[in-house]
Amino acid sequence: MKHKLKMMKMCGLGAAVMLSLYTTSVWAFTIDDVAKQAKTLAGKSYEAPKSNLPSLFRDMKYADYQQIQFNHDKAYWSKLKTPFKLEFYHQGMYFDTPVAINEVTATAVHKIKYNPDYFNFGNVKHDKDTVKDLGFAGFKVLYPINSKDKNDEIVSMLGASYFRVIGSGQVYGLSARGLAIDTALPSGEEFPRFREYWIERPKAGDKTLTLYALLDSPRATGAYRFVITPGRDTVVNVQSKVYLRDKVGKLGVAPLTSMFLFGPNQPSPATNFRPELHDSNGLSIHAGNGEWIWRPLNNPKHLAVSSFATENPVGFGLLQRGRQFSRFEDLDDRYDQRPSAWVAPQGDWGKGRVELVEIPTNDETNDNIVAYWTPDQLPEPGKEMNFKYTITFSRDEDKMHAPDNAYVAQTRRSTGDVKQSNLIRQPDGTIAFVVDYIGADMKKLPQDTPVTAQTSIGDNGEIVDSQVRYNPVTKGWRLTVRVKVKDDKKPTEMRAALVNGDQTLSETWSYQLPANE
């Protein structure tokens, strides 16, 4: 009898444990919770967010906005044993509508309430009563990425659906976005915004941070899940469920936004001590058919849109190739430390194209480069679209390329010339491009390998000469192409790849010489 009673007690305890496990695991916040809201929103008319900012904050200059700083000693989660911390951005200037930010715990969701005491307002004179009911413009994530005793800002989510991410030894450069709509179309671009966030409270030993976002715009809504893994490379795993309210001209998936002012393929028109000035210098594509493509970036005089059709892309990204400080010589902005971003789709994305948009700019404060994937076919409004991908923010560009396929280390533009018998170089009316290829496997090739180039040019140009020679400095090969342009008021397309007989040795250099007027 005693034995039976003991067994019953143990069974009762086991049932209690099972019940406890069941009850605690029943509640979990997922992307589907956000997707329900997004789908409901998509079935309603769009309501534009209303600004709640007093004119003092709405009309302030950037220098004044910069004075409003978060008090670091009030960092969210600072009293928890977790490596992750949160800080918040104050509203101001064009960040004039609040975003809701929630914390997700093991048992509940609660809103993180705005408090002016979180902030130091510097010299910005304000009435405390006017700010007590404001909100946050966005947030940043802190993590000790460079040393264990210092919290570094590794993620910034501020404005529309923009976010910036860095790994160790990196500084902010290019941005990613949740979604792009009608980029570079005559109708004008639509900028969806993240209107609400849910951030999971991390535990002491967590190496990742998970957060969710609700996207909204006049013609689209969406639910997003971001899993952020900081490190030498910081990786963001993205899952999105997107719903159209209405038809769009073009949908940009996994958009990246960057800046290119000048570089050796397009030198500065004004004398500048910096040889290069850009957050990224090229678009890299690993197409579904296995081809690798490198498109050096330009700062054109007119809007330029380049399209690369590919089914089920393996990856694409805006890269900063060539990281020697001597290429930039900028002690303040450290362009040599800005990350590349590589988008790797998970699953098949179907037929579509990677598009590159290049916008004219006169200074480095404007992001003038956009790249994204756009599908050929879009579903009817209300139907769910699913996209999963990772974005890797890295300074190791050689690891973003296959070792058996050489890549372009640099593209340099020069006045075309011929060396005369007296050794004096005589300009011949051509434009020369010097393209250096390097690669892990290419370094192993004997220098007498018969490497040649397959080159082509569009209708607006003619290739006068192309030569390939071994480069003993890089243990790669250098291609020099001299071209004549027929009409310099039109852009000129060129392509080149290195081969050894029937074997392709390199990615395809795909360059567009911009129109001169």
What's the pLDDT tens digit per position in 225-277? 999 999 999 999 999 999 999 999 999 999 999 999 999 999 999 999 999 99
Q: What is the mean pLDDT of residues 495-516?
A: 96
* SS3 state at 386: strand
- DSSP single-letter state for residue 360: -
pTM: 0.93
Q: What is the pLDDT of residues 25-69, one digit of tens each?
A: 567 999 999 999 999 999 999 999 999 999 889 999 999 999 999
Cβ distance 140 to 157 under 8 Å?
yes
Q: Which of 481, 483, 431 is nearest to 460 (CA)?
A: 483
Q: What is the pLDDT of residues 73-121, one digit of tens each?
A: 999 999 999 999 999 999 999 999 999 999 999 999 999 999 999 999 9
Q: What is the pLDDT of residue 420?
A: 78
Q: Which of 193, 147, 148, 155 is nearest to 172 (CA)?
A: 155
* Non-local CB neighbours of 125 within 8 Å, separated by 6+ positions: 56
CATH 2.60.40.10 residue ranges in the chain?
Answer: 407-513
Q: What is the pLDDT of residue 11?
A: 44
Question: Which CATH architecture group holds 407-513?
Answer: Sandwich (2.60)
Using alpha carbons only, give the angle 474, 323, 473 rounded to the nearest 5 degrees.
Answer: 10
Q: What is the pLDDT of residues 167-205, one digit of tens each?
A: 999 999 999 999 999 999 999 999 999 999 999 999 998
First-to-final CA distance of the chain:
99
* Non-local CB neighbours of 239 within 8 Å, separated by 6+ positions: 31, 224, 225, 386, 387, 388
Q: What is the mean pLDDT of residues 493-512?
A: 97
Q: Which of 119, 122, 127 is nearest to 55 (CA)?
A: 127
Q: What tokens appear for 173 in the block?
A: 């450069």
Output the DSSP codes for 91-142: PBTTB-S-BEEEEE-SS-EEE----GGGEE-TT----HHHHTT--EEEEEEE
Fold of domain 31-400: Beta-galactosidase; Chain A, domain 5 (2.70.98)
- DSSP single-letter state for residue 185: -
CATH 2.70.98.10 residue ranges in the chain?
Answer: 31-400
Give the sign of the dihedral formed by CA 402, CA 403, CA 406, CA 409. positive
Output the DSSP codes for 37-51: HHHHHHTS---PPPP
Residue 266 CA to residue 264 CA, distance in Å, equals 5
